[in-house]
Amino acid sequence: MKKILFVLVVVICELLPFWGGGQEVKKSEDGARVTVLKKGDLCPEFVFKDMQGEEVTLKQFRGKYVVIDVWASWCYPCKREFPNLKRLEEKYKGKNIVFVSISCDQSERRWQNELGFLRDKLIRQWWAEDGDFMKAFQIVAIPRLILLDKKGRVIDFSLPQPSDAKFEKILNKLKGL
């Protein structure tokens, strides 16, 4: 009887994340726990580097919607979308929304080498120093656009590309933009 009860408890604990009773947790390279986010979750306070080498977080944008553009220096489709993202950034200037491009390049040097090209393309360029951000959002392919609400919660994990008319339609439906 004890064996059956033990097996039942193990099975329930394994299935809890699928029932919405908890979040899936993965291990990072250093063995730390990384929570895999789902829609409605608060985005953790990941630390990034900005173009001046300063540490920054998304927390500074609380009270505004945040569009996160995940890209890499080797990704041609990512770079091709920069002018479209810049156009939207300018169009929504003064509204309650900000656009942040986060490089997932493995090497800071590769990202830094692209900054000369990027300075005129987008205002905010950040680099994700570790893989926890990528793991939390389960990013396996780029370009990837993510939308956070004014409180920093995940609204959408995979927005259409900025060149797609659906992208702007989604933004226009945001309350209090």
The pLDDT of residue 105 is 85
For domain 25-172, give the CATH number: 3.40.30.10
In terms of Cα–Cα distance, which of 26, 29, 60, 27 is closest to 46?
60
The pLDDT of residue 121 is 59
Of these ranges, 13-27, 46-60, 148-162, the one predicted with the greatest mean pLDDT is 148-162
pLDDT tens, residue by residue, 90-103: 999 999 999 999 88
Lowest mean pLDDT: which of 38-42, 65-69, 103-107, 156-160? Answer: 103-107
Q: Enumerate residues 6+ apart whose C-beta is below 8 A from 95.
A: 177
Q: What is the DSSP letter of 150?
A: T
Instruction: Give CA–CA dist 32/28, Å, rounded.
Output: 5
Q: Which carries the bigger pLDDT value, residue 70 or residue 110?
A: 70
Instruction: Give CA–CA dist 102/139, Å, rounded.
Output: 12
Question: Average pLDDT in the 47-71 region?
Answer: 91
Per-residue pLDDT band for 119 (boundaries 50, 70, 90) equals low
> How large is the greatest C-alpha to C-alpha distance in the chain, in angstroms?
69
Q: Which carries the bigger pLDDT value, residue 29 or residue 60?
A: 60
pTM: 0.78
- In the chain, the N- to C-terminal Cα span, in Å, equals 59
Using CB atoms within 10 Å of the CB of residue 112, give its burial: 0 to 12 exposed, 13 to 18 middle, 19+ buried: middle
